[in-house]
């Protein structure tokens, strides 16, 4: 009897985890403060700079400082941003987007050129 209850509970837990979205959308009615000025340290080979951003902790905005992450060839990092939608602010999380220029970064003279589309 206990084995069946355990297996039923595990099956229910597994199915409920499938229904939970991987990333919940953060919507806030208060505008975030202006971004802080950060000094980017010197470039590091094989690393990409992730600029700091305002995060919402459920009660207020908190600053998350910029940091380096391992670079991904053929991708560029899209920083976190807050977008206004109908009087509320929605957080668009940062992440990796394809570079889009068709040249592999290892062969590209300027892979992180911000003027490229």
Domain boundaries, the chain: 25-107
pTM listed for this prediction: 0.63
Report pLDDT for 57. Answer: 94
pLDDT in tens, 86-104: 999 999 999 998 876 666 6
Using 50 as the pLDDT threshold, list the residues of the chain that sit under it: 16-20, 22
**3-state SS assignment for residue 63:** strand
User: Helix or strand or coil: residue 109?
Assistant: coil
State the pLDDT at residue 20. 40
The whole-number pLDDT of residue 10 equals 61
Count of beta carbons in the 10 Å neighbourhood of residue 1: 5
What residues contact 65, with CB distance under 8 A and at least 6 apart?
Answer: 38, 52
């Amino acid at each position: 009897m206990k084995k069946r209850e355990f297996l039923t509970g595990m099956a229910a837990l597994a199915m409920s985890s499938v229904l939970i979205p991987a990333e919940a959308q953060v919507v806030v009615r208060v505008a975030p403060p202006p971004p802080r000025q950060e000094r980017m340290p010197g470039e590091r080979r094989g690393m990409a700079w992730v600029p700091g951003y305002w995060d919402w902790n459920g009660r207020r905005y908190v600053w998350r400082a910029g940091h380096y992450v391992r670079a991904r060839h053929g991708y560029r990092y899209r920083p976190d941003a807050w977008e206004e939608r109908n009087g509320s602010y929605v957080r668009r999380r940062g992440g990796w987007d394809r570079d889009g220029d068709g040249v592999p970064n290892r062969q590209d003279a300027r892979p992180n050129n911000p003027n490229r589309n």
